[in-house]
Amino acid sequence: MADTLSMLNIVIPEIIVVLFAFLALFSDLKGKNRRLAGFITLVGFILAILYLLTLKGVEGNLLTFVLDSYAWSFKMLFLFASAIVAVISIGYLERAKSSVGEYYALLMLATAGAMFVVSARDLITLYVAFETASLSSYALAAYFRWDRRSNEAGLKYLFYGAFSSALILYGLSLIYGLTGRVELEAISLAISSSPVAYLALAMLIAGFGYKVSAVPFHMWTPDVYQGAPTSVTAFLAAVSKAMGVAIFLQIFVLGLGSMIGDWRLIIAVIAAVTMTLGNVVALVQTNVKRMLAYSSIAHAGYALVGIAAFNPLGIASAIFHMVTHALMKAGSFAVVGDEGESIHQLNGLWKRSRIAAFAMTVFMFSLAGFPPLAGFWSKYWLFWSAMESGLWILALIGVLNSVISVFYYARVIRAIYVIESPRTLKISRMSSAVVAAVICMTGILIIGVYPQPVIATLLEAIRAVYP
């Protein structure tokens, strides 16, 4: 017990986040001090980030809660992305018709759940943690409760999410039946190919396919991303998607890594179809939120390329891709939340706000994968790792998709610079969304110019999960 308590410091970031969630919950009961709740949330995230920085390089476990460099990297990503979402929310929630304490509390609890996910090394902790994060995000998606589209998004998200959870649970129960263990490492030693294992694998691929919105299971993504409040959409794209990839890594690489021969081809095919469909359907969208949702589907496909490659570089760059994707999507949803979600509402943005227009341009170029930006490096390494594993067809499909995606990102850039708009009033006020966009843009530029430290950290980090 004594040594259990001595390791208590590794959960302190999570404890900080949960405590500040309660604080935020009670700070805005009447809807009169909305900004206060937002700033409490921001302070909570920053304190947690600072404490997490002191834990760099610390390895240890508290019963089944493990802190290693893999969990550390993901936690940093979640906290940073959630802090950006909190910044976006401070301005975006001005339009809320009720108190916003619950919103920030749910945001922090969802982040805490995601942080527990990456520290979980057994099935029970993993399940409870990802349900904590998912349940909070369902409520967040339906948060604008006077808005029918938000209701609809929340209910759709909940039903697809609950359905996929049920499939995942059935798969997990079969894995427990085959091995008698719930610890992921013990499972990877005990499991072997058998018909029941294939059934479990099918259930898990379908269930986690829903979570990361891979193609046959992607239908909920555009609806939910479009209907949810835009700040919540930023959270879903930045944090929930990264959490989905983290669970994918933990279950498939750490838990079922010994069955790689059985699932590699399926994941590779899903990755190819996901990239292609996401990019092709995004071409015809006129709603920017919906377009970015399809782009988000395509990016899940890119991350799956790294998992299918199944070598250290592939897995590290899948995580790296989630980092850059979080920055790009959080930033672009920040601008979209400020300007409006139809592509016409972005017309002439250059005339109105130089900073927002420039940031949006950086996000679009980075999403398309243009060289000096962060999005280029993550794709480059993903496709390189696929080539290393001999999946050169997958790499080729990925490159072709990057070319297709240029077309719809270019439409946004055209709207910003070329098309004239009757709204020419210059925005002098610095909104919180612009602050968030500038932070994201800075991150993308820094990672884009100097990506080596990040990928080196991640290559070090994935030793904890790569067998």
Binding mask 42-81 for other proteins (x = CB under 8 A): ----------------------------------------
467's tokens = 């067998």
Query: What would the DSSP string read from start to end of 250-261?
Result: IIIIIISGGGHH
Rule CB under 8 A: is residue 454 a binding residue for other proteins?
no
For residues 130 and 363, which CB has a smaller minimum distance to other proteins in the complex?
130
The least distance separating other proteins from the CB of residue 4, rounded to whole angstroms, comes to 7
Candidate ranges 142-150, 309-317, 356-364, 408-416; the one touching other proteins (CB under 8 A): 142-150
For residues 200 and 367, which CB has a smaller minimum distance to other proteins in the complex?
200
Residue with tokens 């899903």: 270
Whose CA is closest to 303, among 324, 317, 313, 293? 317
The least distance separating other proteins from the CB of residue 310, rounded to whole angstroms, comes to 28
Residue ranges in 189-228 that form contacts with other proteins under rule CB under 8 A: 222-223, 226-227
Sole binder of other proteins in the list 6, 50, 53, 149 (CB under 8 A):
149
Cα–Cα distance list, 260 to 51, 69, 192, 390 (Å): 37, 24, 11, 15
C-alpha R_g of the chain: 21
Degrees (nearest 5) of the Cα angle 155, 88, 363?
Answer: 95
Candidate ranges 280-288, 296-304, 373-381, 419-427; the one touching other proteins (CB under 8 A): 280-288
CA dihedral over 341, 342, 343, 344, signed as positive or negative = negative
Sole binder of other proteins in the list 44, 113, 154, 257 (CB under 8 A):
154
Rule CB under 8 A: is residue 32 a binding residue for other proteins?
no
Residue ranges in 173-192 that form contacts with other proteins under rule CB under 8 A: 173-174, 176-177, 180, 182
CA distance 197 to 202: 9
421: exposed, middle or buried (Cβ count in 10 Å: 0-12, 13-18, 19+): middle
Rule CB under 8 A: is residue 384 a binding residue for other proteins?
no
CA distance 360 to 342: 15
Pairing assessment for the beta strands 65-67 and 60-62 based on DSSP bridges: antiparallel
Q: Crossing angle of helices 195-212/288-309, nearest 10°?
A: 140
Candidate ranges 112-120, 133-141, 238-246, 421-429; the one touching other proteins (CB under 8 A): 133-141
> In 142-287, where does DSSP find H-type helix?
148-179, 184-190, 195-212, 220-227, 230-235, 241-248, 260-282
Sole binder of other proteins in the list 124, 400, 418, 449 (CB under 8 A):
124
For residues 5 and 425, which CB has a smaller minimum distance to other proteins in the complex?
5
Whose CA is closest to 98, among 150, 155, 23? 150
The least distance separating other proteins from the CB of residue 404, rounded to whole angstroms, comes to 17
The least distance separating other proteins from the CB of residue 250, rounded to whole angstroms, comes to 17
Rule CB under 8 A: is residue 131 a binding residue for other proteins?
yes
3-state secondary structure of 31: coil
Sole binder of other proteins in the list 6, 29, 387, 407 (CB under 8 A):
29
Residue ranges in 235-254 that form contacts with other proteins under rule CB under 8 A: none
Rule CB under 8 A: is residue 97 a binding residue for other proteins?
no
The least distance separating other proteins from the CB of residue 180, rounded to whole angstroms, comes to 4
Conformation bin of residue 180: beta by default, left when phi > 0, alpha when psi is -120 to 50: left
Sole binder of other proteins in the list 281, 303, 336, 436 (CB under 8 A):
281
CA distance 447 to 237: 19
* Residues near other proteins (CB under 8 A): 1, 4-5, 22, 25-26, 29, 123-124, 127-128, 131, 135, 138-139, 142, 145-146, 148-149, 151-156, 158-159, 162-163, 165-167, 169-170, 172-174, 176-177, 180, 182, 222-223, 226-227, 281, 284-285, 287, 290
